[in-house]
Chains A and B, each alone.
Chain A
Amino acid sequence: MDKNIQLRLLFMGLGTPEVTFLNRLIEGLARQGVHVTICGPNRKMVDGFPAEKADWLLAPSWHGSDLIRVWQILQMLIRGIPGTRCKWFGKLFRSRKTLSGRLAAFHRYLPFLRGDWDVIYFPWNSTAVDYIDLFDLGIPVVISCRGSQINIRPFSKGQESYVNLLKQSLGKAAAVHCVSEDILSNAVGLGLDPEKAVVIHPAVDPQSFLPCFDNSQNDPIKLITTGSLVWNKGYEYLLMSVRLLNERGMNAELHIIGEGAERSRVLFTAQDLDIASQVVLHGKLSPAEVIQQLQQSDIFVLSSLSEGISNAVLEAMSCGLPVVTTDCGGMREAVQNGVEGFVVPVREPEAMADALQKLVLDSALRKRMGGAGRKRVLAEFNSQMQIEAFVKLFESVRVNEAN
């Protein structure tokens, strides 16, 4: 119960690509005095993050050359041998029936033989599933439920064992963080006990995402969206909306920031709908460039089919942009229909075009809704508040376990 003792957090950001919001979370936690140990395959993971602020625990991936692998295992052995978790290690080793299973378990859990942490934190469900045996270490575990791993993956073919382990991990966790009320209710459907669930909305730093300059002279009106070019972002429907705006004589162009597997789908659809000249694909941009683009835009639009809750929308609101978003995941928790923007049904390009049209035609409305969005972010989606809520969450499981 001693708040003066520094909280030691093991951050299982393993194997995930570099994600800006996780970097910001780690940075914020470190600033709040939490001692963070980042577990990952290499130090490159958190790019631009001052490495001296966190410890590193090397957990190499199995891919790579044999020679490097042997060297890494030796390293882990030397580091881990004096550890005190041999009983746990032996048990999980014996629980695997096949040789290859044992080898994999040996390689996977070797890094965790030694090390003192108060809380283990999994920012992704899939990592918690991969490292399910860490739940038996006797250290309280916190998991984040963010999006597709709760909303999409469990409904796909051949995911029975994932769902099974997902349920186990949610059951064993000391606390579960959900990014929205919506994802909380979906996770409850997967067996999560609502008693130990906490909703902490994502947040932005309103000091970096500053409102835009005066764009009321923009012609054509600049619509912007950010997000990987993948199916769950629903870009085909968005392009259909832009086409409808075109047919109705609106002068608008769409800027898409992001890269991904469905680039050719976006290109083809824009050409097929004869709006290629009004669609700009920017590819992946740096956070600073994203802010710049947002500040030059008039309306933010999100056409997703599924979301936890979109960080991109919060960033746009912070920049004072009005938002048109589909009604998926927790988007209603961020945008109230008619206040900070409009909420329209998924897969309905006409409804989205109607909402966009209202904003395109009315610069005063854009200004009003944009202002409301900025206000909302300052009051409810402020990164300072978010970090404090996370610290509180981690402290609470530590305290609980101590009792």
Chain B
Amino acid sequence: MKRTEVVKPSPSSPRLVLVVPAFPKLSETFIVTKFLGLLEHGWDVHVVCSHSDPKDWKAFPHLNVDPEIKKHVHVTWPQIPRWLAGLLIIPALVRGFARSPNATWNYLRKGSKRFGLEIFRRFYLDLELICLQPDIIHFEFGSLAVGRTHLKELLNCRISVSFRGYDLNFVGLDQPDYYNEVWNKADACHFLGEDLWQRAQTRGCPPDMPYMLIPPGVDLEKFPRIEQSSEEILGTRETPLKILSVGRLEWKKGYEFALSAMKILKDQGYFFEYRIVGEGEHRTALEFACHQLDIKGSVQFLGALPQNEVIEQLAWADVFLHPSISEGFCNAVLEAQAMGLPVVCTDAGGLAENVADGVTGFVVPRRDPKALAEKMTLLTENSDLRNSFGLAGIERVKNLFTIEKQLDAFEFFFQKLSSRDNKESED
């Protein structure tokens, strides 16, 4: 990601709009990377978001290289307070008719038949998308597409959706038909891995839905290989096993089971230091667990850290532990492998596709402290195993999970989507 220049798209290239909640966001760096990559490769790509904080722009120097880039990011008009949104409907109509009269007219004409007066509220929310006249609208999270699929007909475009984990694992769980409109209207879906594709089908996605599995990618320059500790045996008083976890302090990360595993290690006489990077509302519960399990002295909560400090912590560690209960695919585990850390993780979500069990780390059943502890003791006693896992991890990321691979796949995804578009319009 060094160049980051906007390559002028050819006039025939389809216009692609990525819909996200906020842009740019540190926790969603992958969207920034994808956006910039597509721009460089000559795509006519735009971002529509509802928040954009100038502070966050500073965190992404790449975004500021070329002033053209900013013109590709569009923020929707305010929705709160409601009275303000109500007042702005008139200027919104003016803007719509001035920018793209045909699209605005078609949207209102077709939409009023379906929604009646309600169409003005929708028009206000969809204004930026209408003005852009996209060929493809891509929702970066599944839940964003719910309630927006009417855009397909009203703007006469294709729509596609990314499912990344939380959307399929949690959103609308107690409403069985929550995603039905998406399954009916979407032209294609993207999933981070096989697990999410299976989950989508259990939530009603038809098996003949055109889809692609595109896993996340890691920037190998940012996550360089680290040297493993040369000690043969770890887990002693002199050379305690250094264990690291990275991820928000939420119950779904399964840290309580990791702490129970630490208790088992302690009772078996192993020495270790366990550090957790991340912050969240489950912190009280975890601090209480440390107190209750009597492992306070060996566990440190480091809070949320910027990426360069996360990398320092990865370099410090001997083992990366990821005890999750629910997961999309997990970038943190990929990054740990990229740096050559052996991984112990659960089989939650896409983790079993992420880590090669017995090759780059160990994959154990979720909610099983005994299994976590057992695999960590295996690693303490065998430096060859740690080294071979680490090297295999680097290879695995290089071969399967690079940013370049990810970008190629997305280009293929969108090309296919737009060519289907042309074909049908020729018919």
A residues at B contact (CB < 8 Å): 152-153, 155-157, 231-232, 236, 240, 262, 264-265, 267-269, 271-272, 305-306, 346-347
Residues of B within 8 A of A236 (CB): 251, 256, 367
- The answer to the question of B95 belonging to the interface, with a C-beta cut-off of 8 Å to chain A, is no
- Please measure, in the bound complex, the distance between the C-alpha atom of A265 and the C-alpha atom of B281, giving whole angstroms: 13
Q: Which residue of A lies closest to B290 (CB)?
A: A155
Q: Which residue of B lies closest to A240 (CB)?
A: B367
CB distance from B205 to the nearest CB of A (A): 17
Q: Are B288 and A305 in contact (CB under 8 A)?
A: yes
- Please measure, in the bound complex, the distance between the C-alpha atom of A346 and the C-alpha atom of B289, giving whole angstroms: 11
- Please measure, in the bound complex, the distance between the C-alpha atom of A110 and the C-alpha atom of B301, giving whole angstroms: 41
A-B interface contact total, Cβ < 8 Å: 48
Q: Are A157 and B170 in contact (CB under 8 A)?
A: no
- Cβ contacts B279-299/A at 8 Å (1 or 0 each): 000111101110110000000
Q: Are A268 and B288 in contact (CB under 8 A)?
A: no
Given contact pairs A155-B287, A347-B260, A265 touches B174 in the complex (Cβ within 8 A): no
CB distance from B72 to the nearest CB of A (A): 36
- Please measure, in the bound complex, the distance between the C-alpha atom of A271 and the C-alpha atom of B301, giving whole angstroms: 30
- Please measure, in the bound complex, the distance between the C-alpha atom of A153 and the C-alpha atom of B301, giving whole angstroms: 17
Given contact pairs A267-B174, A268-B173, A306-B292, A156 touches B284 in the complex (Cβ within 8 A): yes
Residues of A within 8 A of B326 (CB): 268, 272
Q: Are B251 and A231 in contact (CB under 8 A)?
A: yes
Q: Which residue of A lies closest to B303 (CB)?
A: A157
Given contact pairs A155-B291, A240-B367, A265-B251, A232 touches B285 in the complex (Cβ within 8 A): yes
Would you call the interface of chain B mostly helix, strand, loop, or mixed? helix
- Cβ contacts B151-173/A at 8 Å (1 or 0 each): 00000000000000000011001
Residues of A within 8 A of B332 (CB): none
Given contact pairs A236-B251, A268-B169, A231 touches B174 in the complex (Cβ within 8 A): no
Q: Which residue of A lies closest to B251 (CB)?
A: A265
CB distance from B136 to the nearest CB of A (A): 32
- Please measure, in the bound complex, the distance between the C-alpha atom of A306 and the C-alpha atom of B292, giving whole angstroms: 9
Q: Which residue of A lies closest to B293 (CB)?
A: A347
Q: Which 7 A-B pairs have the closest CB atoms?
A: A231-B285, A155-B291, A156-B284, A152-B288, A156-B287, A265-B251, A267-B173
Q: Which residue of B lies closest to A231 (CB)?
A: B285
- Please measure, in the bound complex, the distance between the C-alpha atom of A172 and the C-alpha atom of B330, giving whole angstroms: 52
- Please measure, in the bound complex, the distance between the C-alpha atom of A272 and the C-alpha atom of B254, giving whole angstroms: 14
- Cβ contacts B259-276/A at 8 Å (1 or 0 each): 010000000000000000
Residues of A within 8 A of B186 (CB): none
| A–B pairs, 21, beta carbons within 8 Å | A152-B288, A155-B287, A155-B288, A156-B283, A156-B287, A231-B251, A231-B282, A231-B285, A232-B285, A236-B251, A236-B256, A240-B367, A264-B173, A265-B251, A267-B173, A268-B252, A268-B325, A268-B326, A269-B325, A305-B289, A347-B256
Q: Are B251 and A157 in contact (CB under 8 A)?
A: no
- Please measure, in the bound complex, the distance between the C-alpha atom of A272 and the C-alpha atom of B173, giving whole angstroms: 12
Q: Which of B252, B282, B288, B325 sits near A306, CB closer than 8 Å?
A: B288
Given contact pairs A231-B251, A240-B367, A157 touches B301 in the complex (Cβ within 8 A): yes
- Please measure, in the bound complex, the distance between the C-alpha atom of A272 and the C-alpha atom of B325, giving whole angstroms: 9
